[in-house]
Amino acid sequence: MHKNRREVVKMLTALGTSGALSQVLAQQMQPAPMPASLETIAARAIPWEQGTCDFCEMPLKTPAPGAFMGRTFAPGFFEQTYSQIALKEAAKGKEAHHFESIACMVNYAWVYGLRDGVGSTFYVTDRGAYDPAKGPAAVKLLPARQAVYLWGEKRGWVVMDAKIAAFRSAEAAMTFARTIPDLGRTRLLDWQTLVDLAPLPEMNLVNLLARHAGLLK
Protein backbone atom coordinates (compact mmCIF):
# COMPACT_ATOMS: atom_id res chain seq x y z
CA MET A 1 0.00 0.00 0.00
CA HIS A 2 1.55 3.28 -1.11
CA LYS A 3 1.28 6.41 1.02
CA ASN A 4 0.70 9.87 -0.40
CA ARG A 5 2.88 12.87 0.48
CA ARG A 6 0.53 14.16 3.15
CA GLU A 7 0.46 10.80 4.92
CA VAL A 8 4.26 10.53 4.83
CA VAL A 9 4.79 14.05 6.17
CA LYS A 10 2.32 13.36 8.99
CA MET A 11 4.07 10.08 9.84
CA LEU A 12 7.53 11.64 9.90
CA THR A 13 6.34 14.59 11.95
CA ALA A 14 5.01 12.13 14.53
CA LEU A 15 8.49 10.56 14.62
CA GLY A 16 9.97 13.96 15.42
CA THR A 17 11.60 14.70 12.08
CA SER A 18 12.03 18.22 10.85
CA GLY A 19 9.68 19.69 8.27
CA ALA A 20 12.54 19.89 5.77
CA LEU A 21 13.43 16.23 6.16
CA SER A 22 9.78 15.27 5.89
CA GLN A 23 9.46 17.11 2.59
CA VAL A 24 12.66 15.66 1.13
CA LEU A 25 11.73 12.08 1.97
CA ALA A 26 8.09 12.48 0.98
CA GLN A 27 9.15 13.41 -2.54
CA GLN A 28 10.51 9.89 -2.94
CA MET A 29 7.26 8.17 -1.94
CA GLN A 30 5.55 8.21 -5.33
CA PRO A 31 3.56 5.12 -6.38
CA ALA A 32 5.37 2.78 -8.78
CA PRO A 33 3.84 -0.09 -10.76
CA MET A 34 4.61 -3.59 -9.53
CA PRO A 35 6.81 -5.60 -11.94
CA ALA A 36 5.33 -8.62 -13.69
CA SER A 37 8.02 -10.81 -12.12
CA LEU A 38 10.66 -10.26 -9.45
CA GLU A 39 14.34 -10.49 -10.36
CA THR A 40 16.56 -12.77 -8.31
CA ILE A 41 20.20 -11.73 -8.17
CA ALA A 42 22.67 -13.98 -6.38
CA ALA A 43 23.88 -12.85 -2.96
CA ARG A 44 27.33 -11.28 -2.93
CA ALA A 45 30.33 -12.02 -0.72
CA ILE A 46 30.09 -10.47 2.75
CA PRO A 47 33.03 -8.27 3.87
CA TRP A 48 32.97 -9.47 7.46
CA GLU A 49 36.38 -8.30 8.60
CA GLN A 50 36.29 -4.65 7.51
CA GLY A 51 32.68 -4.17 6.41
CA THR A 52 30.35 -1.63 7.98
CA CYS A 53 26.62 -1.03 7.68
CA ASP A 54 25.71 1.21 4.75
CA PHE A 55 22.99 2.87 6.83
CA CYS A 56 24.35 3.27 10.37
CA GLU A 57 28.08 2.53 9.77
CA MET A 58 28.32 0.01 12.62
CA PRO A 59 30.51 -3.07 12.04
CA LEU A 60 28.96 -6.08 10.31
CA LYS A 61 30.91 -8.47 12.53
CA THR A 62 30.57 -8.46 16.30
CA PRO A 63 33.55 -6.44 17.62
CA ALA A 64 36.04 -7.73 20.13
CA PRO A 65 35.26 -6.79 23.76
CA GLY A 66 35.70 -3.04 24.23
CA ALA A 67 36.67 -2.42 20.60
CA PHE A 68 33.46 -0.56 19.65
CA MET A 69 32.31 2.34 21.84
CA GLY A 70 34.05 0.62 24.75
CA ARG A 71 31.25 -1.93 24.90
CA THR A 72 31.21 -5.72 25.03
CA PHE A 73 28.63 -7.64 23.01
CA ALA A 74 27.60 -11.29 23.19
CA PRO A 75 29.42 -13.51 20.65
CA GLY A 76 27.75 -13.43 17.24
CA PHE A 77 25.36 -10.63 18.26
CA PHE A 78 25.75 -8.41 15.18
CA GLU A 79 25.76 -11.17 12.58
CA GLN A 80 22.35 -12.56 13.58
CA THR A 81 20.54 -9.78 11.68
CA TYR A 82 23.01 -9.19 8.83
CA SER A 83 21.15 -8.15 5.66
CA GLN A 84 22.14 -7.42 2.07
CA ILE A 85 20.85 -5.75 -1.09
CA ALA A 86 22.53 -7.54 -4.02
CA LEU A 87 22.66 -5.26 -7.07
CA LYS A 88 22.16 -6.26 -10.69
CA GLU A 89 24.49 -3.46 -11.78
CA ALA A 90 27.30 -2.20 -9.58
CA ALA A 91 26.79 1.28 -8.13
CA LYS A 92 29.74 3.40 -6.98
CA GLY A 93 31.96 0.34 -7.19
CA LYS A 94 29.66 -1.77 -5.01
CA GLU A 95 28.00 -5.00 -6.07
CA ALA A 96 25.90 -4.99 -2.91
CA HIS A 97 24.85 -2.88 0.05
CA HIS A 98 25.52 -4.47 3.43
CA PHE A 99 23.68 -3.91 6.71
CA GLU A 100 23.93 -5.21 10.27
CA SER A 101 20.22 -4.72 10.96
CA ILE A 102 17.12 -5.65 8.96
CA ALA A 103 15.69 -2.25 9.86
CA CYS A 104 18.82 -0.56 8.50
CA MET A 105 18.30 -2.30 5.16
CA VAL A 106 14.61 -1.44 4.98
CA ASN A 107 15.25 2.19 5.92
CA TYR A 108 18.12 2.54 3.44
CA ALA A 109 15.91 1.15 0.67
CA TRP A 110 13.11 3.53 1.69
CA VAL A 111 15.34 6.60 1.48
CA TYR A 112 16.94 5.69 -1.85
CA GLY A 113 13.92 4.13 -3.53
CA LEU A 114 15.41 0.64 -3.93
CA ARG A 115 12.92 -2.17 -4.50
CA ASP A 116 13.33 -5.89 -4.01
CA GLY A 117 13.11 -7.71 -7.33
CA VAL A 118 13.70 -4.60 -9.42
CA GLY A 119 17.40 -4.44 -10.25
CA SER A 120 18.24 -5.89 -6.85
CA THR A 121 17.46 -8.74 -4.48
CA PHE A 122 17.18 -8.30 -0.72
CA TYR A 123 18.59 -10.96 1.62
CA VAL A 124 18.37 -11.55 5.38
CA THR A 125 20.07 -13.91 7.81
CA ASP A 126 18.04 -16.97 8.81
CA ARG A 127 18.15 -16.52 12.60
CA GLY A 128 16.65 -19.95 13.15
CA ALA A 129 19.61 -21.62 11.43
CA TYR A 130 22.22 -19.34 13.00
CA ASP A 131 24.59 -20.38 15.80
CA PRO A 132 26.04 -17.27 17.51
CA ALA A 133 29.00 -19.29 18.77
CA LYS A 134 30.14 -19.81 15.17
CA GLY A 135 29.69 -16.19 14.09
CA PRO A 136 29.97 -15.34 10.37
CA ALA A 137 30.56 -18.96 9.35
CA ALA A 138 27.03 -19.83 10.50
CA VAL A 139 25.20 -17.10 8.57
CA LYS A 140 22.76 -18.48 6.00
CA LEU A 141 20.92 -16.00 3.81
CA LEU A 142 17.26 -16.09 2.80
CA PRO A 143 15.59 -13.95 0.14
CA ALA A 144 13.84 -11.28 2.21
CA ARG A 145 10.61 -11.77 0.28
CA GLN A 146 10.44 -15.41 1.46
CA ALA A 147 11.27 -14.88 5.14
CA VAL A 148 9.01 -14.57 8.18
CA TYR A 149 9.89 -11.80 10.64
CA LEU A 150 9.63 -11.92 14.41
CA TRP A 151 9.07 -8.63 16.21
CA GLY A 152 9.73 -8.86 19.94
CA GLU A 153 9.00 -6.15 22.51
CA LYS A 154 12.14 -6.69 24.60
CA ARG A 155 14.80 -4.00 24.18
CA GLY A 156 18.27 -4.91 23.02
CA TRP A 157 17.72 -8.51 21.89
CA VAL A 158 19.03 -7.53 18.44
CA VAL A 159 21.42 -4.78 17.40
CA MET A 160 20.20 -1.16 16.93
CA ASP A 161 17.21 -2.07 19.13
CA ALA A 162 15.37 -2.79 15.87
CA LYS A 163 13.43 -5.65 17.55
CA ILE A 164 13.22 -7.73 14.34
CA ALA A 165 14.88 -10.98 13.23
CA ALA A 166 14.20 -13.18 10.18
CA PHE A 167 13.24 -16.85 10.00
CA ARG A 168 12.48 -19.46 7.35
CA SER A 169 9.02 -20.18 8.77
CA ALA A 170 6.51 -19.05 11.36
CA GLU A 171 7.16 -22.25 13.33
CA ALA A 172 10.90 -21.52 13.47
CA ALA A 173 10.22 -17.95 14.60
CA MET A 174 7.96 -19.00 17.45
CA THR A 175 10.32 -21.78 18.52
CA PHE A 176 13.05 -19.15 18.82
CA ALA A 177 10.74 -16.72 20.64
CA ARG A 178 10.20 -19.30 23.36
CA THR A 179 13.95 -19.32 24.08
CA ILE A 180 13.72 -15.71 25.33
CA PRO A 181 11.37 -15.80 28.34
CA ASP A 182 11.17 -12.00 28.75
CA LEU A 183 10.76 -11.18 25.04
CA GLY A 184 7.36 -9.66 25.84
CA ARG A 185 4.74 -9.14 23.18
CA THR A 186 5.52 -10.68 19.81
CA ARG A 187 4.24 -10.32 16.27
CA LEU A 188 4.92 -12.27 13.08
CA LEU A 189 5.29 -10.08 10.00
CA ASP A 190 5.95 -10.70 6.32
CA TRP A 191 8.28 -8.79 4.01
CA GLN A 192 5.58 -6.64 2.45
CA THR A 193 4.48 -5.49 5.88
CA LEU A 194 8.01 -4.30 6.70
CA VAL A 195 8.11 -2.39 3.43
CA ASP A 196 4.70 -0.85 4.11
CA LEU A 197 5.76 0.18 7.64
CA ALA A 198 9.05 1.81 6.55
CA PRO A 199 10.83 3.70 7.94
CA LEU A 200 11.20 1.17 10.74
CA PRO A 201 12.06 2.48 14.23
CA GLU A 202 15.58 1.92 15.50
CA MET A 203 18.18 3.90 17.43
CA ASN A 204 19.08 7.31 15.94
CA LEU A 205 16.43 6.86 13.24
CA VAL A 206 15.72 10.55 12.66
CA ASN A 207 19.39 11.54 12.42
CA LEU A 208 20.17 8.62 10.12
CA LEU A 209 17.29 9.45 7.79
CA ALA A 210 18.32 13.11 7.73
CA ARG A 211 21.93 12.23 6.94
CA HIS A 212 21.02 9.95 4.05
CA ALA A 213 18.59 12.54 2.71
CA GLY A 214 21.54 14.98 2.51
CA LEU A 215 20.31 17.30 5.28
CA LEU A 216 23.08 16.43 7.74
CA LYS A 217 26.80 16.04 7.12
Q: How far apart are CA 134 and CA 48, in angstroms?
A: 13
- The yes-or-no verdict on residue 55 having pLDDT over 50 is yes
pLDDT at 156: 94
Position 110 scores a pLDDT of 96
Q: What is the pLDDT of residue 92?
A: 82
pTM: 0.84
Provide mean pLDDT across the span 83-93.
94
**Tens digit of pLDDT for each residue in 144-181?**
999 999 999 999 999 999 999 999 999 999 999 999 98
74 C-beta neighbours (distance < 10 Å), count: 10
Cβ atoms of 47 and 94 within 8 Å: the answer is no
Of 140, 81, 141, 131, the C-alpha closest to 106 is 81
Q: How confident is the model at residue 21 (pLDDT cuts 50, 70, 90)?
A: low
Tell me the domain boundaries of the chain: 32-212
